[in-house]
Structure 1
Amino acid sequence: MDQEHIPGDPEGAAEGAGRRRFLALATGAATVAGLGAVGGCGTGDADGPDGGGAKAGKGNAPSGKAGGKAGPRGFDVKAENARPGNADWTVTKSGPARAVEGFADKVSVLPGESFGLHVSTTAPRFTVSAYRMGWYAGARARLVWRSEALPGARQPEHTVDPGTRMVRTRWARTTTVETKDWPEGSYLLRLDAQGGEGQRFVPLTVRSATTAGRTVVVNAVATWQAYNRWGGYGSYDGPSGGYASRSLAVSFDRPYEYDDGAGLFLTYEAPLIALAERLGIPLAYATTTDVAREKRLLEGAAAVLSLGHDEYWSPEQRAHITAARDAGTNLAVLGANCCFRRIRLEPSDLGPDRTLVCYKSSYEQDPGFKRGQPATVDFRSAPGADPESSLLGVIYDGYPVDAPYVVTNPGHWLFEGAGVSEGDRFAHLVGVEYDKVNTGFPTPRPIEILAHSPVVCEGRPSHQDTAYYTTESGAGVFATGTMRWVEALDAKGDGKSGRNHGLDARSGALTTRVTENLLRVFAAGPAGRTHPARDNVKAVYGGTAPGR
């Protein structure tokens, strides 16, 4: 989510310290913890491929019913969330820097598999508590397991690879954790240093072995890691704050930088997971790494959910999600700037797929590229340009913006029960990054615009679009076009406090109702068969739409 790709912009103009400061300001507005997100504003309409793109048809037969039925292999979301939750799961005392922190040597495990936990602490002892994140009558988490007190030790200092500026830790394994009887789901492991010296989270996914008939929650671990600056370096800058000092590769073998250690999970993913589990629809759980690695993982899935900040994708992940769409699996993109960076996953000393390679504008220096692998640049950029719009329907247009969300198509089924009228505005809901329908890039048709919100991005007038298209396979694809959608699910304030970027209860109610409608219909099977899109691009844009 940055400016580097935008024609006419000096290379790296939006990267580095200024961009990180903007990101840090957004962090403070999170509901529990996490980040707001930023990118770069520019002429997103320019230099797009010739318009039109792939044609997307529509099906003709309804399939399936939504509801709270148990998923395959007996996993029942409703039964799980009927169990008592634990409201005391949060990090309330982060303590001094480096007081306690750690990482798991796997981003995901199947139920019953073990993983290694690598912890560094200044305390003599610490405990580990595994919380499964969900709804749980509003508690949002359930304590599944807690360790005995474990001996603590300060691990060695990290090193920085001179070639890629990748931070490396070679920490010893502190303990092995068994996941027997842990249900599938998204987890936060809380590390508690003895004597109240500090707390930190370690995220982990207990993934589903099969997704058939279920809606798949995909934790965007690649994007979490790209934004992780633990050790002083991330994919955007280094200690100097400049773009040129950024890491060209980043490792999962390190903690997450931010105060609670949860990466981007709590702002961009946890509110959606809570809503989906409250609805009781059959769910499956995976990470972006799992989707990339396992070609058949999404076979038969009802829907795939890309959550609030899902920017970094491998070609394999994109290919597997595209194949699922083409087989009738629905896709919901609940953020903006999705599927923007092309990455490569490589092994580390601890196992496969634990190094994320993304050279961006320096791709010609990449040894993998020199060996014939795809360039790790923006998907829309040469060499091998493949704009994200061919899958998403919308394309990233810029940052930073803060604008009202404007309803254009209030009669659409996704707005059912929301009580909205044409022209209704929802303050601050568009931001910090946004997408739009731009037929100057490959755009599936028919595509239907639900909201068309004027924005001014660094002096350039443009629009944000929420859009829905359907395909010949019957799949429905929905994109919010704004990064604040998932965060807004938790907005309950008056819009004046600055919490959640000033989002108010109206925005919270709107996004909640639309998301409920979306999840119920998408859980029922190919949405295009019962809810075909009706193309309205010309009606919305008139003669101003690129490529028309």
Structure 2
Amino acid sequence: MKNVFQTGPMPVEVYSTTPSVVAGNPIGFCVSVTQPGPDVLVEVYRSSQLAYWDIQFGTQADLLYQGDYRTRISVREGQEPIFQVIVESLSQRIPPQVGSNGCGWTVSATWQTPKNLVSSVYIAKATQGSESSYSLFVVRSEAPGINSKVLCQLSLNTYQAYNPWGGQCFYGPPIAESDPENPPVVSFERPCSLWDYMLYDEPIVTWLEANSSVEFCTNWDVHTDPLLLTPYQLFVSCGHDEYWSGAMRNSVEAFANAGGNVLFLSGNTMYRPVDFVGLTMTRNAITWQALNRPEALTTGANWSAGRWSSPLPRRGYVVSIPDHWIFDGTKLPKGAVLGEQTGIIGYETDAATVPPSPANVVTLAEADLSEWFDQRGKAGLTAYWREQGYILSTSTTGWGQGLRSGGEPAVVQVMRNLVGRMKVRFGIVYAVQGDKLVWYRDRDQYGDGDIGVSKSIGSDGGWDKFKNIFSDETGNIYGLTTGGDLLRYRDSHRDGSGDVRDPVIAGHAIWSAFKFVFAGGDGVLYAVSTTGDLHWYKDELQPNGGSISGGATIGHGGWADYKFVFNGGGGIIYAISNGGELYWYRDSHRDGTGDVGTGRQIGASGWNKFKNVFGDSTGNLYAIDGDSGNLLRYKDTARDGTGSVDVNAGHTIGKRGWQDLTFAFSGS
């Protein structure tokens, strides 16, 4: 797609000395003015402190870039800068071939970022008189992965590929003479338009920060640091993430192979290959297809369709597999359209229908774009397992449209499902066979399928001696001894390898007084006393053990009358009565306060026929049929107490032998 926005220079210009900075380290800002005069005010704001023009994808794509982005951005009323300094106005020389060589300007101001500064997207604003310009940069976490297991990458490479400041980018200008088949070189060391951030990434960034704990980086960070992704569980790509280096692809593929999950909220993703020397980016081939490494071998989908030279109609995805977990809570049946109200099918899309794609890729929803004439094709919301990690692509540059201004409800619910499940390793089921602990992976997570062959991860034996065993979503496995102690083990690998041994004592003696004990996520433990009360505890996870605190009563009487009580994640608790009804409860506070209160029946009689029933943190309910020995999977798609889970509608995912297991429980 071509763009024709302002090439500069404007009355005041600014760029940062580096695309990102680790909290606690300095970052510089280079400022130049066309007319020396009043001093320049340099301020730093978090992106969420700014207001952006509510850009809708209803106009012609290449026309969106014609205006000056600066007129479409402002500081929200009442917001104060995080940092500010006044610098002398200085007119700095623009060297020849600045687009590829960079400006080389003197640093005008330096900000020593605080060590505890939150990882986020930041904007430096330089103002002289009534004129302002902006520079985007990212602050990375000083302690990666400690406060969040989600890392979101901004599509900085795309910003610069389309940035013509100084008269050069991968697409011109001048537009009439540009030749995408003859790739140029661009420097990051120059002012850069924020159009691509505002169009594609900003609504995703804003939603993530408002709804999840998240940390940020740029493409350049992933290229330069092969270990950057290691502390995280979910890697997110934003918006229009078109330009990738081989080093970036290698890092993401290794991350997924080792069990990390990857979420591409992007279209035209990974289409063109680039490489770096310092902060200079070169497009080293026309496409990754030309290098015999199609993008689908990483993302699951190849570029399929584009429409940028005419107005874009509002289009959405037609749901193909409604019982897949990403559609939980949306109530969308097969054939329903996701995202048409806001037009989530953007200017460019990807699809698994363009070969080659991974053999196990699944298309969950699809849009037929055969009437588009810039590039006819399809858009396919796709997913596949890459060794131990799950890779899902929304395959559209317009995904953020469904999240703007509160968002389209079904798109927002899908986002909650995507981030909520993919920020942990999901589909893990543990069991005790004989005296050994074994590991399974329920890969499909919808419909029928086979949970697969077990892998032994507890070779020391003795696992059948516990009174109860359960796990949380992070790899902690708890064993309740007959003497009443609660032991905590750690499955560090969570991929069926390794050996689980050497527990610590997490709690003493009192635990033998409980009929049910189970994990509720985020270190919360629930316990039901023999007198019928529901208790809340918190495992602070101190490495030397003895770390469980709390003991608050959050449910009064009656809980011991149930046949099964188990975790549903996010404060949800399921219970099965002796009469066979399935009930839903929610601990809304999750801090030991409040009263769990009255449950809602979401399943008619028959649930008491099972030998064992347990749940995970994403709405899956697993049941072991004592007669057939089969393992069944059910889905509470509503997860709010309003749904109905039919005991006769379970999917068989494990055949025979499950009734002989001493314990079976979810690890997700």
What is the deviation of 1:97? 5.8
| The one of 506, 517, 522 aligned to 2:422 | 522
Query: Structure 2 length normalisation: TM-score?
Result: 0.55
- Of 354, 357, 368, the residue aligned with 2:282 is 357
Question: Cα RMSD between the aligned structures?
Answer: 3.1
* Contact 1:117/1:173, CA 8 A, preserved across alignment: yes
**Per-residue deviation, residues 1-34 of structure 1 (Å, max 9, x unmatched):** x6xxxxxxxxxxxxxxxx326xx6xx9xxxxxxx
CA drift at 1:424: 2.7
Partner of 2:91: 154
Which shifted more, 242-251 or 200-209? 242-251
| Alpha-carbon separation, structure 1, partners of 2:243 and 2:420 | 27
Aligned to 2:391: 477
Post-superposition offset of 1:158: 3.5
Residue 320 of structure 1 aligns to a residue in which SS?
Answer: helix
Aligned runs of 1:114-513 on 2, under 5 Å? Answer: 114-121=26-33, 122=35, 123-134=37-48, 143=80, 145-160=82-97, 166=100, 168-181=102-115, 182-193=117-128, 195-196=129-130, 198-209=131-142, 210-211=144-145, 214-239=149-174, 241-244=176-179, 248-256=184-192, 258=193, 262-281=194-213, 283-346=214-277, 353-358=278-283, 375-381=284-290, 384-400=291-307, 402=312, 404-405=315-316, 406-425=318-337, 426=340, 428-438=343-353, 440-458=355-373, 462-473=377-388, 475-490=389-404, 508-513=408-413
* Contact kept? 1:337, 1:434, Cα under 8 Å: yes
Moved over 4 A (4+): 134-144, 526-531, 533-536
Q: 1:468 to 1:114 in 2, by over 3 A?
A: same
Equivalent-residue separation in structure 1 for 2:374 and 2:175 (angstroms)? 29
Q: Determine the C-alpha separation between the residues in 2 that align with 1:254 and 1:154.
A: 14
Deviation at 1:418, TM superposition (A): 2.1
Secondary structure, aligned partner of 2:239? coil
Relative to structure 1, is the Cα distance of residues 143 and 342 closer, same or farther in structure 2, using a 3 angstrom cutoff?
farther
Bigger radius of gyration, 1 or 2?
2
In the aligned structure 2, how far is the partner of 1:437 from the partner of 1:393? 6
The answer to whether the Cα contact below 8 Å between 1:341 and 1:376 also exists between their aligned partners in 2 is yes
Q: What TM-score, normalized by structure 1, do the two folds share?
A: 0.66
What SS does the corresponding residue of 2:82 show, helix, strand or coil? strand
Choose between structure 1 and 2 for higher RCO, CA contacts under 8 A separated by at least 6 residues: 1
Give the deviation of 1:143 after TM superposition: 4.6
User: What is the identity percentage for the equivalent residue pairs of Structure 1 and Structure 2?
Assistant: 22
The separation in 2 between residues aligned to 1:178 and 1:461, in whole angstroms, is 49
Q: Conserved in 2, the CA contact under 8 Å of 1:408 and 1:422?
A: yes
Which structure 2 residues correspond to residues 59-138 of structure 1 after superposition, within 5 A? Answer: 98-121=10-33, 122=35, 123-134=37-48
Q: Can you give the 5+ residue segments of structure 1 that lack an aligned partner in the other structure?
A: 3-18, 28-95, 347-352, 359-374, 493-504, 537-548
Q: Distance in 1 between matches of 2:379 and 2:360?
A: 18
The structure with the greater share of residues assigned to helix is: 1
The farther-off stretch of 286-295 and 168-177 is 168-177
Aligned length: 398
DSSP 3-state at the match of 1:414: helix
> Cα distance, 1:389 vs. partner?
0.5
